[in-house]
Amino acid sequence: MRELTGATGVRLYKLFSPPGDLLAGLAAEIDDAGLRMHDDGFSWPEGTASLEHFPYLQECFASGGRCVRELSREKVVRQVFMIRRNDAEIFGLVEMDTPVLLTADQNRLVEGILAIFCNCLTMLDYSEIDSLTGLLNRKTFDESLMRILSHPAVAGDESDAFPRLPKRRQPHVAVFDHWLGVMDIDHFKRVNDQFGHMIGDEVLILVANLMRSAFRAQDKLFRFGGEEFVVLLKPTEAENAFNTFERFREQIAEHVFPQVGQVTISIGFARIGMNDTPSIVLDNADEALYWAKEHGRNQVWSYERLVAEGRLAPHAQWRSEVELF
């Protein structure tokens, strides 16, 4: 795009929509210094902030169309193009600096390139998203977990990279453990048998929606098929990880599901160690889930806590309820 338009710089901003906010983060940029990628597909890009901290981008987003502004001091023309999903939702913006105003043909060229880009993203969505719930599917889980295992967190105060985010959205300081939670709807077969598979599907969709509201936007949410869900938590302390899963368990138990009434969920979670493999991490979390289901259901248990209390033997080779491959 830069070569075809003669732009001096092109920047791709990605939009994030945590509850009650709209954030923008610089995902990639290219100029005379070369191409730089800032989005690893898991964390928010460094410098991500509320859209209001990018006044020109916010103005263009509100207009819903292409914006043009001449910057006399920099001697460039800055234009912003919307990136839309399914011709509706704006999920990104492209900011382009050019020496002169783009011609009508160049504008059509840029919009055509962005349309192809959106089509490619749509095809990726189809392959990575669970069609029923809209959560990530099993296909993308292994890649996400391997990215965590191969990129250990760097020591230091990560919050400096996000000075304009509210404190509740800033990364935790000097905490390096990611967590994996495996969740299973209790007695889900009874729901299908008593109310039918259509109502069962509605329960799955509602659980997925509650997951989106309960977990942070940086956390990865997956459906593994059936009534099994998986969460990859961003770094936090063990106590916070437990509290996060416990709040979600309570939220499910207190929710009134249409026609069904109360539904409960059992959760097992485990620390993601840098020397672990995907199968080890999943087996650890699944052992904790199995314990929760065998000891009353509607509970949250940590693999590390069960081992520390002598309820589980470390590295026990249990049969996993979740199939990774």
Confidence at 209, pLDDT banded by 50, 70, 90? very high
- Name the nearest CA neighbour of 170 among 217, 212, 220, 222: 217
**Eight-state DSSP code of residue 41:** S
Distance from C-alpha of 31 to C-alpha of 27, rounded to nearest angstrom: 14
Q: What is the pLDDT of residue 161?
A: 45
Residue ranges of the chain assigned to CATH 3.30.450.40: 2-128
Question: Mean pLDDT, to the nearest integer, of 144-166?
Answer: 58
Q: Give yes or no for a contact between 7 and 93, defined as CB atoms under 8 angstroms apart.
A: no
pLDDT tens per residue across span 250-298: 999 999 999 999 999 999 999 998 888 888 999 999 999 999 999 999 9
Q: What is the pLDDT of residue 200?
A: 97
Confidence at 169, pLDDT banded by 50, 70, 90? very low
Q: 19 or 117: whose pLDDT is higher?
A: 117
pLDDT tens per residue across span 78-137: 999 999 876 667 889 999 999 999 999 999 999 999 988 888 877 776 778 898 998 999
Reply yes or no on whether the pLDDT at 245 is more than 60: yes
Reply yes or no on whether the pLDDT at 68 is more than 50: yes
φ, ψ for residue 157 (rounded to 5)? -85, 100
- Chain centroid offset of residue 256 CA: 26
Question: Which of the residues 95, 158, 202, 227 is marked catalytic?
Answer: 227
At the topology level of CATH, where does 2-128 sit? Beta-Lactamase (3.30.450)
Percent of the chain with pLDDT over 90: 58
Reply yes or no on whether the pLDDT at 175 is more than 60: no
- Name the nearest CA neighbour of 148 among 11, 295, 272: 272
Confidence at 158, pLDDT banded by 50, 70, 90? very low
Distance from C-alpha of 267 to C-alpha of 289, rounded to nearest angstrom: 5
Extended beta strands in 144-255, E state: 178-185, 220-225, 228-233
Residue whose pair of structure tokens reads 């939702």 in the numeric block? 89
Reply yes or no on whether the pLDDT at 154 is more than 50: no
Cα dist from 204 to 18, 181, 183, whole Å: 21, 17, 12
Confidence at 140, pLDDT banded by 50, 70, 90? confident
This prediction's pTM: 0.72
Angle value at C-alpha 219, between 167 and 314, nearest 5 degrees? 110
pLDDT tens per residue across span 44-61: 788 899 999 999 999 999
At the topology level of CATH, where does 138-308 sit? Alpha-Beta Plaits (3.30.70)
Q: What is the pLDDT of residue 147?
A: 82
Confidence at 164, pLDDT banded by 50, 70, 90? low
Which range among 3-17, 171-185, 197-211 shows the weakest confidence by mean pLDDT? 171-185
Residue ranges of the chain assigned to CATH 3.30.70.270: 138-308
Residue 280: in which H helix or E strand, if any?
A: helix 278-294
Distance from C-alpha of 122 to C-alpha of 116, rounded to nearest angstrom: 10
Q: In whole numbers, what is the pLDDT of the chain averaged over residues?
A: 86
Confidence at 319, pLDDT banded by 50, 70, 90? very low
Q: Give yes or no for a contact between 151 and 40, defined as CB atoms under 8 angstroms apart.
A: yes
Confidence at 244, pLDDT banded by 50, 70, 90? very high
227 is catalytic: yes
Reply yes or no on whether the pLDDT at 237 is more than 50: yes
Q: What is the pLDDT of residue 11?
A: 95
Distance from C-alpha of 137 to C-alpha of 202, rounded to nearest angstrom: 18
pLDDT tens per residue across span 21-48: 889 999 999 999 999 998 877 677 888 9
Angle at which helix 138-150 crosses helix 278-294, to 10 degrees, equals: 120
Q: Give yes or no for a contact between 118 and 84, defined as CB atoms under 8 angstroms apart.
A: yes
Q: Give yes or no for a contact between 6 and 99, defined as CB atoms under 8 angstroms apart.
A: yes
Beta bridge partners of 302: 269
